[in-house]
Amino acid sequence: MPTVSPRRLFLAFLRLGATAYGGPAMMAYLKTELVGTRHWLSEPEFKEGMALCQVIPGATMVQMCTYTGYRLWGIPGALLAAAGFVLPAFVTMTVLTALYFRAGSLPVVQALFKGLGALVVAIVLNACLTLGRTTLQGWQGILLAVLALAAMVLKVNFLIVLVGTAVLAMPLYRFAAARPPAPEAKR
């Protein structure tokens, strides 16, 4: 794991917080930055952190940044990473809220917010495709994702979907692991 100064850690997450929008949809962007570009986490460390952050309540992206800071610098790193990541959104929301209360009834402002809504949908779809390519391994992962999505569309409680998916994954992946590998063709 590379040595990262506290200042560099804070500034990296400040930049991430200022340039990456979309909540959980930006998980793919965060993975590219932390695993691919900076090499601060390995692929398995990132997946462990992502799984942990998805299970516990709260803002997933902030938790993932906090997890990364903790892995690199312990509690001080966790605090620096979280503060750096949250600060741009806090400042932006404060300014936008003030502007909205002054000009929110103008048609141009209302049109702007409708356009931003469409952008959010595109960001979420992009994240689904990017993470799906690396996370969904084999027919079992695809089946679990489809069943979980169907349950959420039917408004099944998220905790039931989470537990149900985990329970269903055990026999699906155990069955796949128990099958002997196909013999290799001789040349």
123-149 tens-digit pLDDT: 888 878 887 887 787 889 899 999 999
Q: Is residue 110 part of a domain?
A: yes
Same domain, 96 and 10: yes
Q: What is the pLDDT of residue 179?
A: 62
Query: Is 184 domain-assigned?
Result: no
pTM for this prediction: 0.60
Q: Residue 15: pLDDT above 70? A: yes
136, 169 Cβ separation under 8 angstroms: no
Q: Is residue 185 part of a domain?
A: no
**Which residues in 35-47 are b (16+ Cβ under 10 Å) and which e?**
beeeebbeeebbe
pLDDT in tens, 80-120: 999 999 999 899 889 888 888 888 788 888 888 888 888 87
Whether 58 is covered by a domain: the verdict is yes
Question: CA distances (Å), 61 to each of 16, 51, 54, 69, 150, in order?
Answer: 11, 12, 9, 12, 24
pLDDT attached to residue 23: 65
Domain region containing 54: 6-135
pLDDT exceeds 70 at position 121: yes
Q: Do 129 and 61 fall into the same domain? A: yes
Overall domain count for the chain: 2
Exposure of 173 in the CB half-sphere (CA atoms within 13 A): 12
pLDDT(176) > 70:
no
